[in-house]
Amino acid sequence: MEAIAPPPAPVIVCGALCKSFPDGRGGVTNALAGVSLEVRRGFMVALVGPDGAGKTTLIRLIMGLLSPDSGAIQVLRRDIVRSPKTGESHISYMPQKFGLYEDLTVQENLDLYADLHSVPAADRAQRYAALFAMTNLGRFTKRLARRLSGGMKQKLGLACALVQSPRLLVLDEPTVGVDPVSRQELWAILLHLVKTESRTVLVSTPYLEEAELCNHAVVMYQGKILAEGSPREVADHARKRTFRLTLPAETKPRQAVASLLTFPAVADAVPEGSQVRLVLKAKVAEIPQFPLASAAQEVQPHLADGFMVLLRQAATTGAPPAPLKTTPTVSAKITAAESEYPVVEVRDLVRRFGEFVAVDHVNFQIRKGEIFGLLGPNGAGKSTTFRMLCGLLPLSSGMLRVAGYDLRHARAWARQEVGYVAQKFSLYAHLSVWENLVFFASAYGLRGNRRKQRLTWAMEEFDLGAVRFHATGHIPDGYKRRLAMACALLHEPTILFLDEPTSGVDPLARREFWRRITTLANQGVTVVVTTHFMEEAEYCDRLVIMMNGRMLAGGTPAEIRQRGKAPGISEPTMQEAFIRVVMDEERALHKAGGA
Amino acid sequence: MTEKDKFEKVRRIIAMSRKETRQMLRDPSSIALGMVLPLLLILLFGYGLSLDAKHVPIAVVMEDHSPAAQSVWGAFAGSRYFRPRAVNSMFRADKLLSAGRVDGIVRLRHEFSRDLHAGHAKIQFTANSIDANRARLVENYARGVVAAWLAQRQLTHGWHDDQPVAIQQQIWFNRGLVSRYFLVPGLLVLIMTLIGALMTALVVAREWERGTFEALFATPVEPTEIIISKIIPYFCLGMIGLAIAVTASRLLFHVPIRGSLGVLFLVSALYLLVALGMGLLISTRTKNQFIASQAALLLTFLPAMMLSGFIFDIRSMPPAIAAITYVLPARYFVALLQTLFLAGDIWSVILPNTAILMLMAVLLLGMTRRLLVKRLQ
Amino acid sequence: MNVFFRILALIRKELGAIFKDPRSRFVVLGPPILQMIVFGYAGTFDLNHIPYVLIDQSRSSESVRFISRLDGSGIFTLVATAGNIQQARPLLDSRRALMILQIPRRFQRDILTGRTAQIQVIADGRNSNTAALAIGYLHEIIDQFNSILEQTRRRGAPPAFLSIRSWFNPDLLSRWQMVPGMIGLITMLAVMILTAMSVAREREQGTFDQLLVTPFTPLEIMAGKTIPPILVGLGQSAVIFLIVRYWFDVPYYGAASTIILCFLVFVIAAAGLGLLVSSISSTMQQALLGTFVLVMPCALLSGLATPISNMPRIVRDITRINPLRYDVQAVREAFLQGATIHQLMPELIPMAMIAAASLLLASWLFRRIQ
């Protein structure tokens, strides 16, 4: 065998891969349009890109689970296309849904994969011990996988993939829908693996700060690779374009963001505490004068900034994002007196499921026109709280008022005040977009002129004309999200509940979403939102962090950030603050348990 | 293939079937389908359902009270098939019949005894034939009762008036014509179809739906191993069901088993494989639990119930429908079951039917194997 | 008024979902009609084909006369002749023949001398019902044969004879009994699956929560969930009724209003049961299997295939909570007996009670579970 060029030999080589799928309406969508990629041994490669960029398709092709329309793939020097024997024993794979058997216990799942990968019985004890130490699952070996929280499931999925010692580890969005603490733990495991065992890892993720931890990032968009290189190189696409703006005291960052994003030169703007991070589309030689800002400072770009620049450049050729019209939803501006009036009031809220206390004496108030965030790790009780607020779940004890009512017992018209967008954008998949809108209009008793007016408003505001007669199940996710919002806003609610509205959503769509929410809040709509994205907490006026059913922290984003202060961290990010709050709590619990 | 490969193969199959068994035992809908329903069926068919009419309620309108008429009443009352009640008017009896309170009316007109002496007395029997099958049986019973009464009367009166032709009947395999004897063995076909086809129709589709195949396909496990490990637990459950059903039919319901148990278990195992083949094929093809269960109901269970000859004799069906039954494996299994339970090891029945079932098993499982590729989509 | 419009919107949406979701469309359209036709033909106890083996040891003019009478019936078909029982036996064993008929050597002599001539019959009892029917047919033919013989012999007939009349179904066609009863079974399956699925579909897609936060009251939601399957069930009943009436030619003597009321009450009861199933199932597949597990015993205990009066007392009592039992009875009576609404009260009242009870229970379960 001839000598192969210096140490890192290629583990995966893809050449000009193309793959298309029928789109359910007679046409085809091109998931991959000519992708070439090389992954070298010992590298940790991140695939990033918006939804539908082709990340999952690429991974499945590499795993031999799909066959390409054209192109070549070599994995560990074997031609996957020509000899499609899948299940190479040196490769481990963790699909999006983790591949766990929910009816089996943690131990049984591990045993199954150990048997399938022919892990010798003698090695198992040691291997299991290492995996349990890594994942902290040792205490739960007898628990059914279905009873694990999202973060634990994800770790078990990883443990199953690592039950053998793979030469290549492939992970498809392993951290979607998982809280920041679990995410951090998972990445710690992965980094450890690469460093100590020099494994090759290919991982796709929608979280750009995660990609920053890898030594190679591949940015995908619409089935093509936009850019690749080290995270630094990708971030450099935003060099000399990224600034931090200081705002005058009376300007809310999210409002500044909303108006900054309307400028054509702006690629991205996100709130950062009381400041705004701004990325321009083009390089500038010196710091320009920014509107709304009292001061500006150039900063090192992050991977996310480079990513946004790349995407904005590519998106100009693709479909433009939905235009945001400014038709008011609720016309009245809020007066100072009104903003003091609590729209949502929660006192000593408790919810028990049998012995288990899911929500334990929670208190908060939300004022009119506020954006209020509920944050917390998986299983913290935020969904339970949320469902009680919406009247979907009875409370065990305590007091709860939404617009003056407990919605569970409120008469129907009280619910007119409330709009609700569920986690999965739940709409009637077999009805067309228009039929969905008409149904919800009737559900809220809209009739006559008002009905006509509101339906027209929804079609225009959310730009749904193109898909009006399409079955909702077959339209792209972006449209589904807009339609869900449209349905929730048809009856001009004064309170909007949003349950993880941005989970699994790419950065572009998230920006659009928050722009809309900001506009709504300006118009006096009260918004209650749960999210896993810590940077999104920055958009909130106030937020609470929950864990184990209890409130750990509450306040404005700036106040919460202060909780993250530690030696060496002078300007903690929201994520750091969150992890710190949660870790402190865990340590305290541990101590209490130990004492 | 080396020794080591073989060993690993076997270990994978064991691991996979263990997983399958656990899933089966932990899923309430499979418990309902595979255990509760079969037991319910056994009890219902053993104790509840029967085509044999006994103690049929009839109204007897006695317009004549002569000793001769009394003796007719006595004949009906003495028969185990009838439970007569005296009614004083035909009007009243008609009402009872229409309301379904009695299944027949025996009417003895007031001129009955006079006509009897004259030799042309009429015993009028009116049956409610809304349930035609029952009516036919009831009419046959009534014929029997009257014939017996006549014979008795001739004996006592010393008449010599034989019928020109009479039947000497002999019924083989089921002397007492007990319907339970053919319903209970036939039940096995339902249980085996339920466990073999309806339950397994879900198991491949479930893996597609829950996305576990994606992870499984990335391991070295081979499609054949997946199929084998899905067959093993359901095969065992089916055989347990068979054992319970056979024991219950022998001990509780006293159905004779004239054939050899060995052959019975062998052909049942064969049918179970066919059913498993159908279930797995449906499941592999549809990739969706809902559609799979729907298809399994329509294509396997309902035909096994209606078209197999289990309740409704295939000989009674019109030719076009009877032709359909030839593609149904259940048909061959029912023929085998009725023969093995009631008639014995009749090789002229066993061999051809077994051969067809074997062919079907090979065909169905082979097609499943070809369809199950380790590829998504 | 507003309530009316809102329920109307729910019904429209629900009907849209039923006909646009290929999974539920399947439940409503093709298969039920196909089932009705195939199972309508299959579900019969009438024997019209009795293959037999003949052992004619008499070989006389009388035996030939008897055999031609037998073959002329159109029901008995000769498959083989044999010299003795040993030869005939394999044919019976292998199910190629249903009975063996042995005409003894003395057959003609006995008839001529006025003694009773015995014909020996061996029937295959593996299906006892078929065997009993076959022997019944043979008796009828021999009775006819006897009466002709007696006329020619000018001998006195027996002093008494049985005259049989069959009300409502004079030709004793079991199809007339089975096919009308099947209307109920097929609609019950469809209505229950549709009702159970409509809630499960919303749970699966996550739209149920969305529905609960709208101003709909639980009662309105329940109405919106039950009315569309009821409408679909009525439509399906009507189509199947027409198939029974005109395809299978079963006479209908009742008034149109009778059968409509009958269908309506039954379909409401079925929807109530469907709602019960749906309140405990979270996926469409569970709803389907739950329905199946419930419908199966209902069908067996309905008197459709095996008469209720043949069941032991305790089982008969259990059938009283089975709506299908009342429906099968009522529809048969409406068809063949021309029963009026008044006459069907003993069936309609329990069905209505079951409908009310299941709807109440389901609404209670709904409030508890959600």
A310 domain residue, yes or no: no
Question: Exposed, middle or buried: residue A489 (CB in 10 Å: 0-12, 13-18, 19+)?
Answer: buried
Chain B hits for A96, CB-CB cut-off 8 Å, are 211
Say whether both C277 and C307 belong to one domain: yes
Chain C residue with Cα closest to A389: C213
What would the two tokens of residue B195 be?
């466990």
Residue C301 lies in a domain: yes
Contact between chains at A426 and C210 (C-beta distance less than 8 A): yes
Question: How many CB atoms are located within 10 Å of the residue C21 CB?
Answer: 21
What chains are in contact with A, requiring at least 3 Cβ pairs below 8 Å?
B, C
Same structural domain for residues A91 and A222? yes
Q: Could you tell me if A220 and A265 lie in one domain?
A: no
Q: Which residues of A touch B27 (CB under 8 A)?
A: 103
Model ipTM value: 0.83
Chain A residues touching residue B216 (CB < 8 angstroms): 99, 116
Residue A567 lies in a domain: no
Inter-chain touch C209–A413, beta carbons under 8 Å: no
How confident is the model over A134-147, as pLDDT tens digits? Answer: 788 888 889 898 88
Do A86 and A166 sit in the same domain of this protein? yes
Task: Label the pairing between strands A70-75 and A10-22.
Answer: antiparallel
What residues of A are in contact with residue C10 (Cβ under 8 Å)?
443
| Facing B119 at nearest CB: one of C156, C168, C172 | C156
Domain count for chain C: 2
Per CB-CB distance under 8 Å, the chain A contacts of B14 are 115
Going residue by residue through chain C (370 aa), what tens digit of pLDDT does each one get?
577 888 888 899 888 888 887 777 777 777 888 888 888 888 888 888 889 999 999 899 888 988 998 888 888 989 999 988 888 888 888 888 999 999 999 888 888 887 788 889 999 888 888 888 888 888 888 888 888 887 776 555 566 677 777 777 777 788 888 899 889 999 998 899 889 888 888 887 788 888 888 888 888 888 888 999 999 999 999 999 999 999 999 999 889 999 999 999 999 999 999 999 988 887 777 888 889 889 989 998 998 888 888 888 888 899 999 999 999 999 988 998 888 898 899 999 999 999 999 999 988 887 765 5
Question: Per-residue b/e over A320-338, b at no fewer than 16 CB within 10 Å?
Answer: eebebeeeebeeeebeeee
| C260 belongs to a structural domain | yes
| Chain segment B16-25, per-residue pLDDT in tens | 999 999 988 8
Q: Which of A195, A216, A233 is the last residue of a domain?
A: A233
- In DSSP notation, A177-231 reads T--HHHHHHHHHHHHHHHHHH--EEEEE-S-HHHHTTSSEEEEEETTEEEEEE-H
Predicted confidence (pLDDT) per residue in A292-337, tens digit: 778 888 888 988 889 888 888 877 644 444 444 444 444 444 455 5
The secondary structure of residue A466, as a DSSP letter, is: G
Domain ranges, residue A275: 240-300
Q: Tell me, yes or no, whether A286 and A370 share the same domain.
A: no
Report yes or no: A388 and A344 within 8 Å, Cβ to Cβ.
Answer: no
B37-65 burial code (b ≥16 CB/10 A, e <16): bbebbbebbbebbbbbbeebebbbbbebe
Return the pLDDT at A411: 65
Same-domain pairing of A429 and A553:
yes
- Nearest chain B residue to A21, by CA: B377
On whether both C205 and C339 belong to a single domain, the answer is yes
- C308 and C242 both lie in a single domain: yes
CA distance B373 to chain A (A): 10
Percent of the residues in chain B that have a pLDDT greater than 90, as a whole number? 27
Optimal mutation site among A146, A383, A426, A528, interface C, most CBs of chain C within 10 A: A426
If asked whether residues C77 and C190 sit together in one domain, one would say no
The answer to whether residue C161 sits within a structural domain is no
- Which one of A66, A87, A118 has the shortest CB-CB distance to B218? A87
Please report residues of C whose CB lies closer than 8 A to that of A445: 2, 5-6, 215
Is C199 found in the same domain as C94?
no
Three-state secondary structure call for residue A357? strand
Which has the closest alpha carbon to C262: C345, C360, C354? C345
User: Which residue from A minimizes the CA distance to C20?
Assistant: A430
Segment (H or E) for A356: strand A356-367
Question: How many pairs of residues across A and B have Cβ atoms under 8 Å apart?
Answer: 96
Q: Do C17 and A407 touch (CB under 8 A)?
A: no
C-chain CB neighbours of A391 within 8 Å are: 212-213
Q: Same domain for C99 and C248?
A: no
Q: Do A129 and A96 belong to one domain?
A: yes
**C-interface mutation test, from B133, B155, B307, most C Cβ less than 10 A away:** B133
CB-based contact A526:A330 (threshold 8 Å): no
User: Which of A62, A85, A103 to mutate against chain B (most B CBs within 10 Å)?
Assistant: A103
- How far separated are the first and last CA of chain B, in Å rounded? 30
Task: Look at residue A448 and tell me if it is in a domain.
Answer: yes
Residue in chain B nearest C95 by alpha carbon: B349
Which of B8, B12, B27 comes nearest A103 by C-beta?
B27
Total domain count, chain A: 3
SS3 C81: strand
Give the closest residue to A498 by CA, choosing from C216, C210, C199.
C210
Containing domain of residue C62, as a range? Answer: 50-153
Domain assignment of residue C25, yes or no: yes
**Cβ <8 Å between A94 and B216:** no
Residue A410 token pair:
């409120």
| Pair A208, A273 in one domain | no
Note whether C105 and C58 are same-domain residues.
Answer: yes
- For position A320, what pLDDT does the model report? 43
Bridge partners (DSSP) listed for residue A551? A546
Q: Are A65 and B218 within 8 A, CB to CB? A: yes
Residue A508 lies in a domain: yes
Res. B144 pLDDT band, cuts 50 70 90:
confident
Whether residue B302 and residue C156 make contact (CB cut-off 8 A), yes or no, is no
How far A91 CA sits from the closest chain B CA (Å)? 8
C112 shares its domain with C183 = no
Q: Is residue A5 part of a domain?
A: no
Whether A505 and A471 map to the same domain: the answer is yes
B130/C128 Cβ within 8 A: no
Does C206 touch chain A if contact means CB atoms closer than 8 Å? yes
**Are residues C348 and C258 part of one domain?**
yes
Residues A539 and A397 in one domain: yes
If asked whether residues A525 and A435 sit together in one domain, one would say yes
Residue C327 shares a structural domain with residue C202: yes
CA distances from C218 to A233, B100, C213 (A): 57, 42, 11
What the block records as the tokens of A484 is 């869900």
Q: Rounded to a whole number, what is the distance in Å from the CA of B19 to chain A's nearest CA?
A: 7
Could you tell me which chain A residue has the CA closest to the CA of C21? A430
CB–CB of B339 and C289 under 8 A?
Answer: no
Optimal mutation site among C205, C216, C217, interface A, most CBs of chain A within 10 A: C205
Instruction: Give the neighbours of chain C: at least 3 Cβ pairs within 8 Å.
Output: A, B
pLDDT in tens, B39-93: 888 888 888 777 777 788 899 998 888 888 888 888 888 888 899 998 888 889 8
* Intervals of chain A under pLDDT 70: 1-7, 24-25, 84-88, 316-340, 410-412, 425, 504, 593-595
What are the chain C neighbours of A102 within 8 Å (beta carbons)? none
| Domain CATH code at residue A188 | 3.40.50.300
Q: How far is B31 from chain A (nearest CA, A)?
A: 14
**Range with the poorest average pLDDT among A73-87, B192-206, B324-338:** A73-87
Instruction: Check residue A595 and give its pLDDT.
Output: 45
C323 in the same domain as C269 = yes
Chosen domain end from C90, C119, C153: C153
- What was the pLDDT predicted at C33? 84
Cα separation, B272 vs B235, whole angstroms: 7
Which residues in chain A touch residue C20, judged by CB atoms under 8 angstroms apart?
430-431, 471
Contact A55, A70 (CB under 8 A): no
- Indicate whether C177 and C88 sit together in one domain: no
Query: Which residue in chain A has the smallest CA separation from B26?
Result: A103
Chain C residue with CA closest to A412: the answer is: C215
Residue B134 above 70 pLDDT? yes
Same domain flag for A468 and A379: yes
Q: Are residues A248 and A220 in the same domain?
A: no
Which residue among B16, B19, B220 sits closest to A117, beta carbon to beta carbon? Answer: B220
Q: Closest Cα of chain C to A390: distance in Å?
A: 7
Q: Which residues of chain B are within 8 Å of residue C142 when distances are taken between CB atoms?
A: 165-167
| Mutate: best of C214, C220, C367, partner A, most A CBs <10 A | C214
Q: How many CA atoms lie within 13 Å of A176's alpha carbon, on the beta-carbon side?
A: 21
Output phi, psi for C56, to 5 deg: -100, 100
Say which of C12, C205, C215 has its CB closest to residue A426.
C205
Pairing state between β A44-48 and A216-221: parallel
Segment 214-243 of chain C within 8 Å of chain A by CB: 214-217
Q: Answer whether C288 sits within 8 Å of B140, measured CB to CB.
A: no
CB A279 within 8 A of CB A309: yes
